[in-house]
Structure 1
Amino acid sequence: MITEHDLGLPGEHPSPSQGGPPHTDPAALDLRGLVKTFGSKRAVGGLDLRVPAGRLFGLVGPNGAGKTTTLSMATGLLRPDAGRALVLGHDVWSDPPAAKALMGVLPDGLRLFDRLSGRELLRYVGRLRGVSEDDIEVRSTELLAALGLTDDAGQLVVDYSAGMTKKIGLACALIHAPRLLILDEPFEAVDPVSGEGIRGILRNYVRSGGTVVLSSHVMELVESLCDSLAVVAGGQVLAAGTLDEVRAGSSLQQRFLELVGGPALQAQRTSGSEALSWLR
């Protein structure tokens, strides 16, 4: 299993600059007034979210809620129309080298250099990230083993299954020992055995000083894995806090339905009881 020593946490990176948020310790991720519009549709509308360091933080919401757009703006993949995104005090858009050096990212629809083998891809990403050859060799071997990819390390990534591609993408996000991991649907297409291994890696990573922000549609996964979360719908944060604060005495599934369902959910249930009569 990946340990604090294996990932080089937490002391491997330089401390953040003094230009960050007005807190004694900068948040791992601080989103301020993010706005993004596509044509006439506002995908994200003035979204604010602060993720303290050392959290395993879930981001949940219905389809089209703005989760992926928000994470894309937070990681420098999509420029916001307005607002700021800071990683440990570094502005993602005014100081991208400093902010991105602290992040490991597994985006939705990840595109990889898939004509490389798994081990070659890790070596390539490690060199791009400035990791020494000796560390790349050690970390690659340990990551491949932890993710169950050792036997496929010499296989071209183009021939990997969807779940294997997701796992090698996670390994690429970890190779430089970042202080913040941002993962968009990291368990999608991953089998239960591999999924449990990934959970263990993420828990150890947080225990050793890292921070994880992950999006998911699966409430049970977030409830069992995360200690804090935010519920997003319509490009806005509807609720954020610790797991117990957001659940407010209910299950996360029930609380989620209360927050994002409302009249639309009731209307859907009513129409659903009358529609599709030809299936009966």
Structure 2
Amino acid sequence: MQPYDSSPAHGATPPGADDGHNADPAQPSAPSAVAALSIRGLVKTFGAKAAVAGIDLDVPAGSFYGLVGPNGAGKTTTLSMATGLLRPDAGSISIHGVDVWQNLVEAKRLVGVLSDGVALFDRLTGEQLVTYAGMLCGLDRNSALERTRDLLTMLDLQDAGGTLVVDYSAGMTKKIVLACALVHAPRLLVLDEPFESVDPVSAANIRDILAGYVRGGGTVIVSSHSMDLVQRMCDHVAIVSQGRIVAAGTVDEVRAGSTLEDRFVDLVGGRRHAEGPTWLQSS
């Protein structure tokens, strides 16, 4: 499956080779014509709390980009604004040069989203849900159904295509939402905790699918708490803390000779060195 159709009818331009980031891992990339996602001055507050406090970020086209941070750091809020699900208080966002909040419909055609915890039409079967998602994105019914069947096979859900989504396990639900994100062949995939509740075999299959998608010219942004997974899977990473980017660049640049987990803890803080109460220690 190709991540997008680069024919003139779709107005797509294949991404170039320049990854568009500078060498300082604490700074965002310089603006680039090939950036899959470009964010400037992004702000979102809820009451007195600044969930996102001025984020600048460039995601190079064709990259596998990890977004990591502690709970409450602003990762999900940032991705929700970047994909048109939540309006920012300030700042600009563009996907492949399309301003998200000035051209919302056009921007949404370019992106597929897997959001953690979003309600589904779960009284539809898996096949119906993915087909419906494809038709919402402008596919005719026959094309949407053909792509849906390809995706169900690819995600090992072909035997569950006629089952109501409400009866799916957590891992199956995650995979059917991924199918919905892929069905219109977007240029950018934004995945919030895509491997949570997914068994190891399914997770390996999903990683292979995403790697193939990137090789085909697509871009993946994945938010995850698993530092090891991000270090192995991603080529770029940004660390978010208290609504700000504290480091961004290639994985090697950000981890700076350490493991990504150790670098993350050094930047974010919060590690406790106490051994715990004596009653927890065996004699």
Question: Which residue of structure 2 lines up, in the alignment, with residue 158 of structure 1?
Answer: 166
Conservation of the 8 A alpha-carbon contact between 1:9 and 1:208: no
Once the two structures are superposed, residues 62-120 of structure 1 have per-residue CA deviations (whole angstroms, 9 ceiling, x without a partner) of: 11111001101111111111111111111111110111110100112121100000001
Q: Which has the higher helix share?
A: 1
Out of 226, 243, 250, the residue aligned to residue 251 of structure 2 is 243
How far apart are 1:140 and its partner, in Å?
Answer: 0.9
Contact 2:5 2:12 in 1 (8 A): no
Distance in 2 of aligned mates of 1:252 and 1:191:
23
Distance 1:8 1:35, change over 3 A: closer
State the 1:24 CA deviation: 5.9
Contact 1:69 1:78 in 2 (8 A): yes
Aligned partner of 1:54 in structure 2 is 62
Conservation of the 8 A alpha-carbon contact between 2:191 and 2:222: yes
When the two chains are superposed, the root-mean-square deviation of aligned CA atoms in Å is 1.8
Q: Which ranges of 4 or more aligned residues in structure 1 deviate by more than 6 Å? A: none
In structure 2, what is the Cα distance between the partners aligned to 1:59 and 1:144?
27
Alignment length (residue pairs)? 265
Question: Would the aligned equivalents of 2:77 and 2:86 in 1 still touch at CA under 8 Å?
Answer: yes
Q: Which residue of 2 aligns with 1:84?
A: 92
* Structure 1: stretches of 5+ with no match in the other structure: none
**2:175 alignment partner in structure 1:** 167
Instruction: Provide the rounded CA distance (Å) in 2 between the counterparts of 1:228 and 1:13.
Output: 28
Shift, 1:228, TM fit: 0.5
SS of match in other structure, 1:25: coil
Q: Which residue of 2 aligns with 1:138?
A: 146
Match of 1:184 among 183, 187, 192: 192
1:13 equivalent to 2:10? Answer yes
**Structure 2 stretches of 5 or more lacking a match?**
14-28
Offset at 1:135?
2.0
Alignment partner, residue 262 of structure 2: 254
Amino acid of the structure 2 residue aligned with 1:184: D
Alpha-carbon distance change, 166 to 24 in structure 1, aligned in 2, over 3 angstroms: closer
Provide the C-alpha distance between the structure 2 equivalents of 1:198 and 1:10, rounded to a whole number of angstroms. 24
**Displacement of 1:9:** 3.9
Q: SS in structure 2 opposite 1:257?
A: helix
Q: How far apart are residue 279 of structure 1 and its match?
A: 4.3
* Preserved CA contact (<8 Å) 1:13 1:102: no
Structure 1 residue 118 corresponds to structure 2 residue 115? no
The yes-or-no answer on 1:230 pairing with 2:238 is yes
8 Å Cα contact 1:9/1:209 also seen in 2: no
Counterpart of 2:273 in structure 1 is 269
My pick for the range that moved more, 103-112 or 163-172, is: 103-112
Cα offset, 1:235, TM superposition? 0.5
Find the counterpart in structure 1 of residue 20 from structure 2: none
Deviation at 1:23, TM superposition (A): 5.2
Return the alpha-carbon distance in structure 2 between the equivalents of residues 10 and 110 of structure 1.
30
Identify the residue that residue 17 of structure 2 maps to in structure 1.
Answer: none
Q: CA deviation at 1:8?
A: 4.3
Distance 1:43 1:178 in 2: 28
Please tell me whether residue 203 in structure 1 is matched to residue 200 in structure 2: no
**Contact (CA 8 Å) 1:110, 1:169: kept in 2 or not?**
no
Report the identity percentage. Answer: 58
Amino acid in structure 2 at the alignment position of 1:14: G
**Is residue 10–residue 208 contact of structure 1 (8 Å, CA) maintained in 2?**
no
The 1:113–1:212 alpha-carbon spacing in structure 2 relative to 1, beyond 3 Å, is: same
